[in-house]
Amino acid sequence: MRIQFIKNVHFTKLVKISGRNVKEFNFRKMRSGEEDLFSVDVSDDRGNRIMFQMRKEGSTWNIAEQVLPAWITEQEQKLNEIIEEELRSPTS
């Protein structure tokens, strides 16, 4: 019998939005077959949770097609950088 361990990757980062608001983004890596995905959640100004996925396309992580507030989609490149930095760190 072969035992396979799959590392659970999850982390939280604070991101400055529009130069004034700081939002807490929670990331959790998921596997969907051969595809790597990150489930991301953040709360809006009213405290409602917004959940979305980021999918690796080529060498960058992009937001999966969903209707999201502009303040999230404008941060796509920053979210990509955060994920890549976390995956490169020795503790992940």
Domain chopping of the chain, boundaries: 10-88
Biggest CA pair distance of the chain: 54
pLDDT band at 48 (very low <50, low <70, confident <90, very high): very high
**What's the whole-model pTM score?**
0.85
Alpha helix (H) residue ranges in the chain: 70-73, 76-88
pLDDT band at 34 (very low <50, low <70, confident <90, very high): confident
The whole-angstrom separation of Cα 27 and Cα 29 is: 7
Q: Which two tokens stand for residue 28?
A: 């959790």
User: Looking up tokens 């982390």, which residue turns up?
Assistant: 11
Angle at 66 between CA 78 and CA 21, to 5 degrees: 40
